[in-house]
Amino acid sequence: MPVALAAAVMVAIPLTSPSSGPQAEAWTPMSPVAVDYAAESAAGTARGRLLGFNDFHGALEPPVGSGGLVNGNPAGGVEYLATYVERLRDQGKANGEKVLTVGAGDLVGATPLISAAFHDEPSIEVLSALGLNIASVGNHEFDEGVDELKRLQKGGCHPVDGCQDGDGFEGADFRYLSANVVDKQTRKPILRPYEIKMVQGVPVAFVGMTLEGTPAIVNPAGISTVDFLDEVETANSYADQLSRLGIKSMVLLIHEGGQQNSPPTPQDPSSCANFAGPITNIVAGLRPEFGLVVSGHTHRFYSCALPNSSGANSVVTSAGSNGTLVTDIGVKLDRKTRKFTNISARNVIVENGVKNADGTWAKDAQGNFVRNPDLVNAAAKAIVDKYRAAVAPLANKVVGSITADITRVASAAGETALGDVIADAQLAYTTSQQAQIALMNPGGIRADLSYAFSPGGEQPGQVTYGEAFTVQPFNNLVVTQTLTGAQLKEVLEQQFTGYAGQTTTKFLQVSAGFAYSYDTTQTLGSRVTQMSLNGVPIDLAASFKVTSNDFLANGGDGFTKLSLGTGRVYAPGFDVDALVAHLTNAAPVAPGPRDRITKIA
């Protein structure tokens, strides 16, 4: 496949090029971004189009629940993404632009069963067929370790499971970049750090990396041989090297991001309203040659102009997640100076539904969105169908039932109905280990359970193994260990940013019988109060059997205090097995009550 071809992106059909037509008015945070950098010289202009996306997470099929909606519009699924990509590619060619497709990490990992059952080879295959050219690694690219990531790039059968689909595995046609992930011994990047592409005679360098904090959010066993370096220092080091080669225009593909904040509600996918997040400080330290930053990780959409180290703006984009959006980025470069003269970008929803005459989206008798067959790409469908058939016997097996939708929508205190259910499932799964309390990290809950969704033709309310796996796709172990009441309190205190090294606030989901309150007006380390088990106040000196997945038990998501437990006992199977057992044994399962955690202030 020619590397000049583009592929993955964002479009509402039909779509006009952001780099064609009259120059847009000055950018504001409430409009799609457009930044002018310098006047064009008499040497003329090179024009390109970059099609960007991030956090695809193996969304071969349209996501269900909130993960498949953008402001209420049904979106995503690679069969639909491929249609939009193909049309954008043709449009770029018709406009005389050089088109490239880029990704900003987490293309694989935390994937539904249709991809995960084959070690994400299906996702690599379909993204290669889309014409993806370059992608940075994300934290989830390391879910199965460094060696497995290298296999996905280079090809070859899985060392344990072989080539399960019967036709081998050639690896990715696109180039993964990992500038800031280096071997501990050689200090060299484990994959290529950058790629240079010619845009109508002008060289443009693409540098790719993931967030420095990756070790805190992946299983440490698979990354013991590598170090994750500072993003700004690494990017600028390569910018220095590349500038000495005469390259003046650079793109940073980075798996780190931010988010828009209300108001307004809902957010425009192409705006930058009240923006905040780690990417702002990263961009602020970048050399100005990085005129464009394609970001990810937060699963949020935005198109921003953020100041770099020179005080000038860099364009910063993100396309949400699950292929529900793609970012159409127009670039202009001066042929003499080789510098960006203009960059513009906007996000477009990859709609997959059928609209009614009144503008609403059509649904079937069970309340599921009707998918639009006219937007299905035949080539992508052929790949997905192959893996659908291979995984169907396992994926469509009914394992239990629910009484209503069970979602990840959080209460004011940070508790979710699905978090309650998963914590209850893990507690029930470890009763033979005398477990008393179970804790679940919210980032490990990847999808909702939908009452009406019936992927295998099952009755409404019935839950298949594939649906359960989509909720918990990591195959973490389930571990029970002993903590004192004081240690348990420390774990809960570590939910808040700034305490004991915690970098982001996140609320652990807790099992039935355990309850606590917290007050954010109190000082860090003194926010958690009124802990109780079955109505009895927790004795800080007493010992308790606490269950979690092994990612958490090893200090994942910044919960290093949980790794101090003793007397570990591992349950058979994986965390998804605990959920499946609960869905079977407690059927039908009702949504969790969201009344175990209380926010005082």
Report which of 438, 439, 445, 437 is spatially closest to residue 409, judged by C-alpha positions.
445
* Per-residue pLDDT at 78: 97
DSSP string, 84-96: HHHHHHHHHHHTT
Indicate if the alpha-carbon torsion angle 264, 268, 270, 276 is positive or negative: positive
- For the sheet with 325-334, list strands across it: 33-36, 340-349, 325-334, 45-53, 98-104, 134-136, 175-177
* Per-residue pLDDT at 28: 84
From CA 129, how far away is CA 313, in angstroms rounded? 34
Query: What's the token pair of residue 24?
Result: 């847009």
Q: Using N-to-C axis directions, what is the helix angle for 378-395 and 78-94, rounded to 10°? A: 170
Mean local confidence (pLDDT), 23-51: 85
The CB-side HSE value for 415 (13 A sphere, CA atoms) comes to 23
Sequence-separated contacts (24+) of 426-429 with Cβ below 8 Å: 426/478, 426/511, 426/547, 426/548, 426/549, 426/575, 426/578, 427/511, 427/512, 427/547, 428/578, 428/581, 428/582, 428/585, 428/586, 429/478, 429/547, 429/571, 429/577, 429/578, 429/581, 429/582
pLDDT of 19 over the 70 cut: no
pLDDT of 270 over the 60 cut: yes
Q: Please give the mean pLDDT across all residues of the chain.
A: 93
CB 126 within 8 A of CB 95: no
Query: What's the token pair of residue 198?
Result: 């010619």
* Per-residue pLDDT at 258: 96
The band of 180, judged by pLDDT with boundaries at 50, 70 and 90, is very high
Mean local confidence (pLDDT), 497-504: 93
CB 106 within 8 A of CB 54: yes
pLDDT of 13 over the 60 cut: no
Annotate 527-558 with b (16+ C-beta within 10 A) or e (fewer).
bbeebebeeeebeeeebbbbbbbbbbbbbbbb
Q: The tokens 């700034």 sit on which residue? A: 498
Q: Which element (helix H / strand E) includes 49? A: strand 45-53
Q: How many other CB atoms are there within 10 angstroms of residue 198's CB atom?
A: 13
Residue 538's identity, in one-letter code, is I
From CA 148, how far away is CA 169, in angstroms rounded? 13
Q: Is the pTM of this model over 0.85?
A: yes
From CA 488, how far away is CA 34, in angstroms rounded? 50
* Per-residue pLDDT at 25: 57
Per-residue pLDDT reduced to its tens digit, 216-225: 888 888 999 9
Burial class (CB in 10 A: 0-12, 13-18, 19+), 506: middle
Per-residue pLDDT reduced to its tens digit, 452-462: 998 889 999 99
Mean local confidence (pLDDT), 129-149: 97
Write phi, then psi, for 567 (nearest 5 degrees).
65, 45
Mean local confidence (pLDDT), 294-321: 97
pLDDT of 9 over the 70 cut: no
- What does the longest C-alpha to C-alpha distance in the chain come to? 79
Is the bond into 278 cis (omega within 30 degrees of 0)?
no
The band of 17, judged by pLDDT with boundaries at 50, 70 and 90, is very low
* Per-residue pLDDT at 16: 43
Q: What angle do CA 489, 490, 496 make, to 5 degrees?
A: 105
Residue 544's identity, in one-letter code, is F
CB 324 within 8 A of CB 334: no
pLDDT of 2 over the 60 cut: no
pLDDT of 20 over the 60 cut: no
* Per-residue pLDDT at 357: 96
Mean local confidence (pLDDT), 517-537: 98
From CA 561, how far away is CA 335, in angstroms rounded? 55
Residue 25's identity, in one-letter code, is E
Query: What's the token pair of residue 320?
Result: 């949400």
Report which of 513, 514, 471 is spatially closest to residue 491, judged by C-alpha positions.
514
From CA 415, how far away is CA 429, in angstroms rounded? 21
The band of 39, judged by pLDDT with boundaries at 50, 70 and 90, is confident
Per-residue pLDDT reduced to its tens digit, 374-388: 999 999 999 999 999
From CA 138, how far away is CA 161, in angstroms rounded? 24
Q: Tell me 121's DSSP state.
A: H
Burial class (CB in 10 A: 0-12, 13-18, 19+), 213: middle
Burial class (CB in 10 A: 0-12, 13-18, 19+), 359: exposed
